[in-house]
Amino acid sequence: MLDLFRFDFGYGWPFTWGHALVFLVCAALTALAWKRGWPRWITAITGVLALWGLAGAMLMFQLSLPMALPTEAFLRSGEGRVLDLGAGSGRSTMMVLRGRPRTKVTTIDLYSGYWGIEDNTPNRLLANARAAGAQDRVEVTTGDMRAMPFVSASFDGAVSAFAIDHLRSDGVSQALSEVARVLRPQGEFLLVIVNIDWWTSIAFPMMALHGHGYFGHRQDPARWTRSLSDAGFEVVEHGTSPMSQYFLCRKKSAALVSSSSAKSAS
């Protein structure tokens, strides 16, 4: 609970308080309708909206907290140099810094455009790193994940949470290829994307209605697996949690990549 006051990830009030406001207003209307004997349909509608607001508020509460590692299998050695792609204000960066306290994390983000974070700057991420007592283990880079300014084979691991799936199809391929390029042989990549599940449908019904991201409404795991394989990765673990799914990957050897490319060509 202390993490709620320790970190400031900067998500705007519609994300952090919008559902709670709906809950408070609709719960008050439901109570008033019941007390004054208004038509039952009014009580039913406001009651359903109040429950929706409460459920959404409980889900969106997570945006004020650092992410938790979705799998303990990622970087079991607990050390190494890790890259965070599309780091934003640092929820996934804190996930690595706290979950793997012997790692050093380099982040990259364009820091332009609006993705729900107010004042999305490197300084906000660095402030959260200081709050975690890990500012000496973070290096922030402003840049494009589709063309990264890093030396090949220079990272032991990489993570990306709710960033790559915002790109167009060609951008996804470019970003995945860049991750493979900068990872050392057998390097690990943890990809977390939005999943259109029941939880997402509750929190963001319009997202569920229209679909989200490169792979559309179903967020097809098989399609992501193929794209990761084409980029040079082997998926070793796949799983889901409310509103998200993850892929734990390992960089293939050069021989496996060549074999895979030959099969795709044929």
Q: Which is higher by pLDDT, 206 or 192?
A: 192
Q: Tell me which DSSP letter residue 76 carries.
A: T
Residues 6+ apart with CB under 8 A from 214: 165, 167, 168, 169, 172
Task: With a cut of 90, say whether residue 158 has pLDDT above it.
Answer: yes
Q: Which is higher by pLDDT, 158 or 242?
A: 158
Task: With a cut of 50, say whether residue 197 has pLDDT above it.
Answer: yes
Question: Which amino acid is residue 78, in one-letter code?
Answer: G
**pLDDT (0 to 100) of residue 60:** 78
Buried b / exposed e over 149-168, threshold 16 CB at 10 Å, is: eeeeeebbbbbbbbbbbbbe
- The whole-number average pLDDT for the span 149-163 is 97
Are 128 and 87 spatial neighbours (Cβ–Cβ below 8 Å)?
Answer: no
Residue labelled with tokens 């559902």: 19
Backbone phi, then psi, for 239, in 5-degree steps? -160, 175
pLDDT band at 210 (very low <50, low <70, confident <90, very high): low
pLDDT band at 164 (very low <50, low <70, confident <90, very high): very high
Task: Kindly report the number of other CB atoms within 10 A of residue 232's CB atom.
Answer: 24
Laid out side by side, the sheet with 183-194 consists of: 138-142, 102-109, 79-85, 155-161, 183-194, 244-251, 233-241
pLDDT band at 207 (very low <50, low <70, confident <90, very high): low
Candidate from 55-59, 214-218, 240-244 with smallest mean pLDDT:
214-218
Distance between CA atoms of 145 and 168, rounded to whole angstroms?
13
- The whole-number average pLDDT for the span 105-125 is 88
